Amino acid sequence: MAFFIKKNPASKNPTVKKSADKNKSLEMAADETVEHIFDDKFREELRNRGRLHFEKIIGENAMFLQQDLRLTTSQLNDFMKSEITKKLQEEFAKYEQSIGDAKQLAVESIEKTNQAIEQQRELLKSQMEQQASLQQQRLLKNFSEQMADIVNHYILQTIGDQIDLSDQLEYILAELEANKQAILADINRGT
């Protein structure tokens, strides 16, 4: 294995050495000039200008950020309003549907109750009519059974001892019995 050692070309060539020294002296002169040009006062001025430029950029960015924030807030508010409105409309629709359903159930319940009341009324009416009819029939039966005695009693009371109706009593009772249905019909009609 062979190793190559690299030699500094400035060490052999005197021109290269002079040019390297010249470069070094130029660099030192430039450093001094830079130190002289860029003194503390100039650096402070550059810092101040940098701060002002940075503050200007920060201010512009803050203004753009503020505008973006306002726009985003406005858009967010509009979005929230539309979403809340949409949700409220959905909930109101559900609420109206629930109220409609409850109303329908109430109407159906009232109708069923009315039907039950009407049926009960009709039942009570027919029962009352039956009882009234039965009572009227009992009264008429009782009246018809005792009509001959009642009529006989009143006729005897009216005529009294002046006329003897014993001979005609059978004829009168037979006539009353024959006209019994017509008399009962007149009594039922209220005449």
In the chain, where the domains are located: 18-189
List the end-to-end C-alpha distance of the chain, in Å, as a whole number: 161
List the structure tokens of 16.
């290269």
Q: Whole-angstrom Cα distance, residue 118 to residue 123? A: 8
Of 164, 67, 3, nearest to 172 (Cα)?
A: 164
Least trusted range by pLDDT, from 12-16, 43-47, 89-93 = 12-16
Question: pLDDT tens digits for 143-179?
Answer: 777 776 766 677 666 666 666 666 677 777 778 778 8
- Is the model's pLDDT at 13 over the cut of 70? no
Query: Structure pTM?
Result: 0.38
* CB contact at 8 A, 156 and 165: yes
Two tokens at 59? 């201010």
Three-class SS state of 8:
coil
Q: Which among 18, 16, 39, 36 is positioned nearest to 28, based on CA atoms?
A: 36
Is the model's pLDDT at 130 over the cut of 70? yes
